Structure 1
Amino acid sequence: MPRILNFYMDDSGTRAPNREPLPYNKNAREFFALGGVLIDEDAEAAARKLYDEFCARWSISYPLHSVEIRHRQERFSWLALDRFERDKFMSDLSRTLLSLDILGLACVIDRPGYDARYREQYGYRQWHLCQTAFAIAVERAAKYARKIDRKLRVLPERTSKVDDDRLVRYYDDLRTSGPPFAKDSSAQYSPLTANELSETLHEIRFKTKSSPIAQIADLYLWPIAIAGYAPRNRPYVALQSSGRLIESRLTPSQIDVAGSKYSCFELVRRHRRGC
């Protein structure tokens, strides 16, 4: 049996392209992100044990949902009642997430930047943003799997039949045709070939939010996505400092071609420079 690296994937934001032009707003963080965590199949039992112990400490029998935790809403509305208890919970959650033997990886697309880059050329024929994000994130995960001599299993969170079927199609296309980008513009990223992807990609299998590792992918994805706008956000810095991002396993020259990808962020960078 091959040794397997699992890539648990979640998404954040809207994957459909904008129907109307989307101007850049410096006060908004409008993005689509797809990614999560890489974990060796052999390390999953230990990760689930730490997850179970955390949930037991807090008498939690429901999913650790990032949006609910951040906004202290719905099943996590109790976090708004007592600041001391909230701080204790967040510290424990952070310690648990940082102690797991996993790596965060994602592709994040700035929506205004995507619109500015492609609207004039493609109009309503722009790709769904998940096509770009899935191809980039999975190809980079496959690079890391090859680096550590593993096959890659892709485990997206189940959403709708239409969107799940799209991901299966993108996955099959990667195995048969390679990344879908123009060869001249993508050459700088040293993409894997169709043959390399075919021999590395093991299978695609969907998970539900009841999966502990899928929940952890959700919790990792948000700080990675927000780092495109606020690279010093506290959760991201904690992941970075603890070596829980894929960049910690890459040389500086490999980060641009195998680390988390921030796509179409030209408008964000221009604003930072004051242009």
Structure 2
Amino acid sequence: MTRPITLYMDETGNRHPDKKSDASREGRDWFGFGGVLIKGEDNDVARGLVTAFLEKWKLGESKPAHITDMMAERQNFAWLERVTQEKRDSFWSDWRRVLCQAPVIGLGCIVDRPGYVARGYLEKHPDRWLLCRSAFDITVERAVKIAKLEGRKLHIVFEQDPGINDTITGYFKNLKANGLGFDVSNSSKYAPLTTTDFNETLGRIQHKPKSHPLLQIADSYIYAMSRKAYDSKFALYRHLRDSKRIADFALADEHLPHMGVKYYCFDPKTKKPG
């Protein structure tokens, strides 16, 4: 396998199940880990779309597109509050165009934090980092399955943070050394991969700054996929869905149970939080 495919990963929400939820997030308390898969030959196209957007709106490398800041109109995007609605609409139309035209597939694992605690996982597994590792492992395994379908080597790039860079890299090394740590009987329906599968398909892992063009795209994707679980009318997700940029709509139906976006600790029947 020589042709590369890369999973660009970012986080959204709080990774620790024992941390009290922010009051402003009541009713949508998630942790999401994921982003976008992109084939090596498509990198330049995606990068070009982001670069053109940043240049048009005079943002530059020091002002990367960060979805929560954009929506809140704060920090580098505080100026959005002062412009006309027409200009604001134009800004968002341009960014949606970047996300929908980029040749990527949105993939990730979104965990409902209250649901995680309610199921007793925190008591059974007091390691407060396990929620984060679970989301990473699930997302990477699904990316590996997609890479295997296409005979590609999978590389991982995640947004750097000095406090967790070694931790995330450790998750990656653990997958290659030990495979998944989930209960075999519970996970068998998802056709879990073996350690051999991970070693044959996984390549390298790197961390990059949030200004990296593909990580800017990943940031919006993982937020949209997470928000969708709590707000089915979230417009950005609908645009990505209609453009078939989310794994759940980009892949054949037969692959969705074990390669689509994973919503973890949600009600299995209603798919709602809790």
TM-score, scaled relative to structure 1 = 0.91
SS in 1 for 2:207: coil
- Matching residue within 84, 88, 96 for 1:94: 96
Corresponding residue for residue 16 of structure 2 = 16
Corresponding residue for residue 78 of structure 1 = 79
Q: CA deviation at 1:204?
A: 0.6
From the superposition, tell whether residues 132 and 204 of structure 1 become closer, same or farther in structure 2 (CA, over 3 Å): same
Q: CA deviation at 1:86?
A: 0.5
From the superposition, tell whether residues 26 and 267 of structure 1 become closer, same or farther in structure 2 (CA, over 3 Å): farther
Residue type at the aligned position of 2:193: L
Aligned mates of 1:193, 1:99 — CA distance in 2:
34
Aligned mates of 1:209, 1:26 — CA distance in 2:
23
**Contact 1:118/1:126 (8 A) holds in 2:** no
From the superposition, tell whether residues 199 and 110 of structure 1 become closer, same or farther in structure 2 (CA, over 3 Å): same
Q: Map 1:168-183; keep pairs closer than 5 Å.
A: 168-183=169-184
Corresponding residue for residue 237 of structure 2 = 236
Q: Map 1:1-275; keep pairs closer than 5 Å.
A: 2-18=2-18, 27-61=26-60, 62-81=63-82, 82-119=84-121, 121-122=123-124, 124-125=126-127, 127-161=129-163, 163-266=164-267, 269=270
Q: CA deviation at 1:155?
A: 0.5
Aligned mates of 2:116, 2:221 — CA distance in 1:
23
- Structure 2 regions of 5+ residues with no counterpart? none
TM-score, scaled relative to structure 2 = 0.91
From the superposition, tell whether residues 63 and 19 of structure 1 become closer, same or farther in structure 2 (CA, over 3 Å): closer
Q: CA deviation at 1:266?
A: 2.1
**Contact 1:33/1:108 (8 A) holds in 2:** yes
- Structure 1 regions of 5+ residues with no counterpart? none
Q: CA deviation at 1:87?
A: 0.6
**Contact 2:105/2:247 (8 A) holds in 1:** yes
Aligned mates of 1:271, 1:134 — CA distance in 2:
21
Aligned mates of 1:268, 1:249 — CA distance in 2:
23
Between the aligned residues of both structures, percent identity stands at: 34
Aligned mates of 1:4, 1:232 — CA distance in 2:
35
Q: CA deviation at 1:269?
A: 3.6
**Contact 2:10/2:219 (8 A) holds in 1:** yes
Q: CA deviation at 1:249?
A: 3.2
Aligned mates of 2:90, 2:14 — CA distance in 1:
33
Aligned residue pairs total: 269
From the superposition, tell whether residues 150 and 7 of structure 1 become closer, same or farther in structure 2 (CA, over 3 Å): same
Aligned mates of 2:93, 2:224 — CA distance in 1:
16
1:143-170 deviation per Cα after TM superposition (whole angstroms, max 9, x unaligned): 1111111110011111134x22121111
1:179-235 deviation per Cα after TM superposition (whole angstroms, max 9, x unaligned): 110111110100111101110000111111120111111011111001111233211
Residue type at the aligned position of 1:259: G
Q: CA deviation at 1:267?
A: 9.0
Residue type at the aligned position of 1:42: E
**Contact 2:17/2:122 (8 A) holds in 1:** no
Residue type at the aligned position of 1:56: E
Aligned mates of 1:124, 1:191 — CA distance in 2:
24
From the superposition, tell whether residues 168 and 123 of structure 1 become closer, same or farther in structure 2 (CA, over 3 Å): closer
SS in 2 for 1:205: strand
Q: CA deviation at 1:54?
A: 1.4
